[in-house]
Structure 1
Amino acid sequence: MGLLAVVVGFLNDRAPNRSIGAIVAAAFISLVVLAIILNVLSQLLFRNPREPPLVFHWVPFFGNTIVYGIDPYRFFFGSRQKYGDVFTFILLGKKTTVCLGTKGNEFILNGKLKDANAEEIYSPLTTPVFGAGVVYDCPNAKLMEQKKFVKFGLTTEALRSYVPLIAQEVIDFTSRCPAFQGAKGTANITACMAELTLYTASRSLQGKEVREKFDASFADLYHDLDMGFTPINFMLPWAPLPHNRKRDYAQRKMAQTYTEIIQARREAGGEKNSEDMIWNLMSCVYKDGSPIPDVEIAHMMIALLMAGQHSSSSTSAWIILRLATRPDILEELYEEQINFLGADLPPLTFDTLQGLPLNSQVVRETLRMHAPIHSIMRKVKQPLPIPGTSYTIPDSHVLLAAPGVTSNTDEFFPNSSEWEPHRWDAGSDQATANEEDDEKIDYGYGLVTKGASSPYLPFGAGRHRCIGEAFAYVQLGTVTAMMARHFKFRNLDGVKGVVGTDYSSLFSRPLSPAEVQWERRPQGKGEKAFLDRGRTC
């Protein structure tokens, strides 16, 4: 009351030198201070024992948003020490309940559709980017059908055909990219891997026509569309901001490009002559007997490219950055190829890729330490008891799972802060202890491993588990093998360790620029023949 009396007295002061602006400023500051005091008192005096503990915060509405946004994992681990595996924090005015550990992952990621909903969380952000009628802008049953169409398009035979295409893209890119000219030099690996990932994904998944677009204005459109994932769009996805206007224009132009490709293929007639995803979707039919509209195929292509590009580009960048700190592992990768394939290093194939276990372990270990998505959210649909606790989460809350916490915990991965691919060596206690369970479930797009009880979940779990997981491992494995075959990497002189992580987007990635030194290796006879053949195509 003393504070209010001061404010009232100040407002009543009609001294000639007192400006209206100063009065308004003082009143505003006083109200902010009062709001902070009431917010703190409510946390100290009115805790609900039936709900998870609330992470302390000073400012109402903003709550813990800034601390969480700067470094989610530091926030998660710090809160875990104070409050345990289950706690609630304020994220832009929304009470967000975090459930950590394998039990927390299981609870959220394998939650029933009637209890936890992803569409309500992500649709406002993703629909303007992907387009209408796909992913989170449709009933869950339709989404499961769409996932089935895409999943069944990623057959072993399709993946087999992708490896030579991805390998050739790596060769072409590193031959023409200004950052890789000459015998040695430096490169901003985050930018390079982002560009390379677009080429490899578009060529393998979406066909030659789409890949050729990326040498022109299509890449600029992609960049403008990507800006739709900025954090402010969680709150203001439809605001008439400059980056949103560019996003909307880019979405229309990219969708138009895809539909033109589809229509040209239909007009040409004949059977499909490629394993790319566009051909696959053109022949798919929903359960009600209707074919997928061309515009939905276009929107699914945008979603497939956007979602996969972020995770694969960040992971491939982390792989190079980690190898630059461990030249010994990089040389092991090179020797592994020579020992398995021969000194002349013939062209890489899907089958030979399976014979490079350390190469796969490098990908796996990098995904363990650098999960592309740090937070997986669901909207609570009805009061939800948390098993093993006395807590019930109200339907006003959002649920948040963070599988990256378990994969960076010594409980499951001793010395978890060390990047050590050999922890996954065949038969090791570590590899055996962290295998996924064999229980499978069908959410409507084919049997998948339930898997949420595993501490290693870089692709999520449950009905929203990433269907591009098999492709991602093939893409990342091929890129890693080809880069190890052609280059030596090391940190810049005087630099130790790796760069920090950029959490400013929905997808976490290395802070840019992240430069490494590189040196070209000599070409083997088989590889030189492959290069020459590629140049004549």
Structure 2
Amino acid sequence: MDSATTIWLVAFFAVTFYIASMVAKITRRQQPTARRRPPPPVSPGVPLLGDVPALLIKGPSALIRDHYTRLGSVFTVRLFHLKLTFLVGPDVSRHFYQGLDSEMSQDEVSQFTIPTFGPGIAFDVDYATRHEQFRFFGDAMKPAKLRTYVSLMVGEVESHFARWGESGTVDLKQELEHLVTLITSRCLFGVAVREKMFGEVGTLLRQLNDGMRLVTILFPHLPIPAHRRRDAARARLGEIFTEIVRSRKMSRRNDDDDGNQQDMLQCLIDSRYKDGRGTTEAEVVGMLVAALFAGQHNSSSAGT
């Protein structure tokens, strides 16, 4: 077979393949699409800004209620470069809670938590690593472990309310935040650390919490005062917790059992990934910060 014939055969098969591909693509387009549902309605908002002006004027709750009334249970709003889809009500929100990570990825929207929790944990790592880190928390909070925390929790509650007088006025949210922080620090770190570090740690946690604002979701590294305080607080917490982790490891090596070896700190130190690798100091510190911050925030809000 000469070269000219070969070239013509190659060209013929290339053209045939191209035509077949185009026919297949047109056929797919013409197939019935009754099963495909349209995307959720998008709030028109303001050019470039989206719903940011309405969010700043009305607040999140009012904005969601207005869109729910006009657009239904599922709708999308635009905030600058972000598109956020809301699922309002149990009939539609179950898709979010029951969806697989491949369908409902949290990574993109949760990047704003990285400056607070720190590098190397949660949403700063791939899903497989994050899943294992969540398993570490799960192991530390199994029923058998939780039962060992009950007496510690009761002691903190009784001690806290014993300081109250017979009458007076309190900020309930602030009081519950304080109490939950007492409980979590006691269960996480043990009594020695709880007694020595609580004052400073409590202040630093409040600065972390203050650094989690609406603008943080959109621009987590924006150089505003609240973010600068957040970053300084996170750095200081890192220093404190690193010393705590090193001290605990040293006491374990020296067989110096101080009665704290069953708390969550020890569980995280002893945890291992599926490949046999142990947790690093930075990972344990980050997971402690995440546990303190998220646990205190969610529990005090629910309690209030």
How many pairs align?
Answer: 263
Q: Where does residue 7 of structure 2 map in the other structure?
A: none
CA 240–63 in structure 1, closer or farther in 2 if over 3 Å, else same: closer
Distance in 1, matches of 2:88 and 2:202, equals 38
Q: Where does residue 313 of structure 1 map in the other structure?
A: 300
Which AA in structure 1 matches 2:289? I
* Matched-pair contact (CA < 8 Å) for 2:207–2:229: yes
SS of 1:133's equivalent in the other structure is: coil
* Matched-pair contact (CA < 8 Å) for 2:180–2:296: yes
Which AA in structure 1 matches 2:201? F
* Matched-pair contact (CA < 8 Å) for 1:64–1:90: yes
How far off is 1:136 after superposition? 0.6
CA 217–171 in structure 1, closer or farther in 2 if over 3 Å, else same: same
SS of 2:265's equivalent in the other structure is: helix
Write the deviation string for residues 70-118 of structure 1: whole angstroms up to 9, x where unpaired: 4544443433332222222222343322233334223223333333321
1:63 to 50, 56, 63: 50
* Matched-pair contact (CA < 8 Å) for 1:88–1:96: yes
Distance in 2, matches of 1:126 and 1:56, equals 28
1:245 to 221, 228, 231: 228
* Matched-pair contact (CA < 8 Å) for 2:185–2:198: no
Write the deviation string for residues 406-433 of structure 1: whole angstroms up to 9, x where unpaired: xxxxxxxxxxxxxxxxxxxxxxxxxxxx
Which AA in structure 2 matches 1:288? D
Which AA in structure 1 matches 2:281? D
Larger RCO: Structure 1 or Structure 2 (Cα < 8 Å, ≥ 6 residues apart)?
Answer: 1
* Matched-pair contact (CA < 8 Å) for 1:278–1:301: yes
Q: Where does residue 190 of structure 1 map in the other structure?
A: 173
Identity of aligned residues (%): 29
* Matched-pair contact (CA < 8 Å) for 2:177–2:300: yes
Distance in 2, matches of 1:200 and 1:277, equals 12
**1:87 equivalenced with 2:75 (yes/no):** yes
How far off is 1:271 after superposition? 7.9
Distance in 1, matches of 2:287 and 2:158, equals 28
Which one has the bigger helix percentage? 2
Q: Which moved more, 1:236-245 or 1:125-134?
A: 236-245
Q: Where does residue 116 of structure 1 map in the other structure?
A: 104
SS of 1:245's equivalent in the other structure is: helix
Which AA in structure 2 matches 1:222? L
Q: Where does residue 213 of structure 2 map in the other structure?
A: 230
* Matched-pair contact (CA < 8 Å) for 1:169–1:196: yes
CA 93–137 in structure 1, closer or farther in 2 if over 3 Å, else same: closer
Distance in 2, matches of 1:109 and 1:300, equals 23
SS of 1:288's equivalent in the other structure is: coil
Q: Where does residue 207 of structure 1 map in the other structure?
A: 190
CA 243–116 in structure 1, closer or farther in 2 if over 3 Å, else same: same
Q: Where does residue 374 of structure 1 map in the other structure?
A: none
How far off is 1:170 after superposition? 1.6
Distance in 1, matches of 2:277 and 2:114, equals 22
**1:277 equivalenced with 2:260 (yes/no):** no
CA 186–100 in structure 1, closer or farther in 2 if over 3 Å, else same: closer
* Matched-pair contact (CA < 8 Å) for 2:132–2:273: yes
1:249-328 residue pairs with structure 2 within 5 A? 249-268=232-251, 269=253, 270=255, 273=259, 274-317=261-304
Distance in 2, matches of 1:315 and 1:101, equals 19
1:104 to 75, 92, 100: 92
How far off is 1:234 after superposition? 1.8
Distance in 1, matches of 2:129 and 2:122, equals 8
Unaligned segments of structure 1, at least 5 residues: 1-48, 318-537
Write the deviation string for residues 429-455 of structure 1: whole angstroms up to 9, x where unpaired: xxxxxxxxxxxxxxxxxxxxxxxxxxx
Distance in 2, matches of 1:231 and 1:80, equals 20
Unaligned segments of structure 2, at least 5 residues: 1-36
TM-score (norm 2): 0.78
Distance in 1, matches of 2:192 and 2:162, equals 21
How far off is 1:261 after superposition? 1.3
